[in-house]
């Protein structure tokens, strides 16, 4: 039913995580999915709509992944580390919110808002888990940074080596 919507969002997520918001076009998404760009606009009127929807879904999926790990007894820090590791190893791509975060202030307001929500979520959860209000920013920084460096060196194992003490 809504499989077409999913196809579009999947293609958009892959493209954004590869090249960023300014690095993909509606025509590319359309080609990936096998339709025309006008049809993509039918589902998402503007580029900002599409990117914001993808960012929201990413955050919700991320949150659910962490919750699953915690439900099976994993400590919260390890669960967040595991969720980042999964995002990196599943497809070798950067964190969606990480790349949107660095692309910065020229992005549409709704996209920026979703990214900030992702960061706030992680910081708050990790602060609560540790009782240390510096722990949230520090752990999120390590995880985003480990993805960034691993990606720039083209070596996933760098993420593991830079975060193995968090297990």
Residues that bind a copy of itself in the complex, under the rule CB under 8 A: 18-20, 22-23, 94, 97-99, 101-106, 115-116, 119-120, 123, 134, 137-138, 140-146, 148-153, 158, 161-164
Closer Cβ to a copy of itself, 6 or 132, answer by number: 132
Closer Cβ to a copy of itself, 39 or 130, answer by number: 130
Residue listed under structure tokens 């722990």: 135
Contacted entry of a copy of itself, DNA, none for residue 89, CB cut-off 5 to 8 Å set by kind? none
Q: What token pair was written down for 17?
A: 């995580």
Contacted entry of a copy of itself, DNA, none for residue 48, CB cut-off 5 to 8 Å set by kind? DNA
Q: Residue 28 interacts with DNA (CB under 7 A)?
A: yes
Closer Cβ to DNA, 26 or 84, answer by number: 26
Q: Which of 6, 19, 46, 116 binds DNA (CB under 7 A)?
A: 46
Contacted entry of a copy of itself, DNA, none for residue 6, CB cut-off 5 to 8 Å set by kind? none
SS3 131: coil
Q: What's the CA gap between 100 and 158, in Å, rounded?
A: 22
Least distance from a copy of itself to the Cβ atom of residue 94, Å: 5
Closer Cβ to a copy of itself, 76 or 142, answer by number: 142
Helix axis angle, 26-33 to 3-19, nearest 10°:
130
Q: What token pair was written down for 140?
A: 């999120």
Q: What's the CA gap between 73 and 104, in Å, rounded?
A: 36
Q: What's the CA gap between 4 and 157, in Å, rounded?
A: 35
**DSSP annotation string for 10-70:** HHHHHHHHHH-GGG--HHHHHHHHTS-HHHHHHHSSSHHHHHHHHHHHHHHHHHHHHHHHH
Residues that bind DNA (CB under 7 A): 2, 4, 24-28, 30, 34-39, 41-43, 45-48
């Amino acid at each position: 039913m809504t499989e077409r919507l999913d196809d579009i969002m999947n293609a958009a997520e892959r493209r954004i995580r590869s090249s960023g918001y300014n690095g993909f076009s509606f025509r590319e998404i359309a080609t990936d999915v096998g339709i025309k760009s006008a049809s993509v606009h039918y589902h998402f009127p503007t580029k900002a709509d599409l990117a914001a929807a993808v960012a929201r879904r990413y955050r919700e999926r991320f949150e659910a992944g962490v919750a699953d790990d915690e439900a099976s007894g994993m400590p919260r820090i390890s669960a967040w580390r595991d969720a980042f590791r999964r995002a990196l190893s599943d497809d070798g791509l950067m964190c969606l919110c990480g790349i949107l975060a660095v692309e910065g202030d020229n992005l549409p307001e709704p996209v920026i808002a979703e990214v900030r929500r992702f960061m706030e979520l992680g910081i708050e959860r990790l602060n609560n888990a540790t009782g240390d209000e510096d722990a949230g920013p520090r752990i999120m920084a390590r995880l985003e940074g480990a993805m960034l460096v691993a990606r720039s060196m083209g070596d996933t194992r760098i993420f593991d080596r830079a975060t193995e003490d968090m297990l």
